Amino acid sequence: MRERITVRVLLFDPAGRILLMKGRMASGRDRPGAWFTVGGGADPGETLEACALREIAEETGFTAIDLGPPVWRREGQGVLHDGEPVIFKETYFVARCRGDEPVRDGWADYEHDLVDDIRWWTLRDLAACEEAIYPERMLELLPDVAAGRYPAEPMEITVSKVR
């Protein structure tokens, strides 16, 4: 099975809100979606940092970004939008921006089809959310990251399966 190098971004605004997207897997269009971070696959030869900035721009329209360090790593099996099974090798970066309303101008057709919402969340609202949130340990680990307390090295947060 092919490995897919992927960058996810914990994107915060000045008020400490985090931007999350809600979407569904192509294989589960009729099932409820889940909330997840901005991000996507790295292009061949692209650095993780460059990938993070590109994905933020594509998925939100934001280009004035203060990119911080990688804080988490996660891997597991999943399926791409075209049905290809892969092993996702995710690196989660912290980033900060002005917190404007995101735009969907840079989205691929499949993203318009599978992503239902994108919005800013306070940590309190996120803790009260009854829908699925990925990564699974986000609610446990996010308060330290939001407060600027980062691990010296990216923390391994792998669980049994990546969606």
Question: Which residue segments constitute the domains of the chain, with CATH numbers given?
Answer: 2-156 (3.90.79.10)
Q: What is the pLDDT of residue 32?
A: 78
Q: Which of 28, 43, 154, 137 is nearest to 81 (CA)?
A: 28
Share of the chain above pLDDT 70, in %: 94
Residue 29 reports pLDDT greater than 70: no
The token pair at 143 is 């308060």
Give residue 129's region: left, alpha or beta (phi > 0; psi -120 to 50). Answer: beta
What predicted TM-score, i.e. pTM, was given to this entire model? 0.92
pLDDT, tens digit, 9 for 90 and up, residues 38-75: 999 999 999 999 999 999 999 999 999 999 999 999 99
HSE, side-chain direction, 13 A CA sphere, residue 138: 26
63: exposed, middle or buried (C-beta count within 10 Å: 0-12, 13-18, 19+)? exposed
Q: Does the pLDDT value for residue 142 go beyond 80?
A: yes
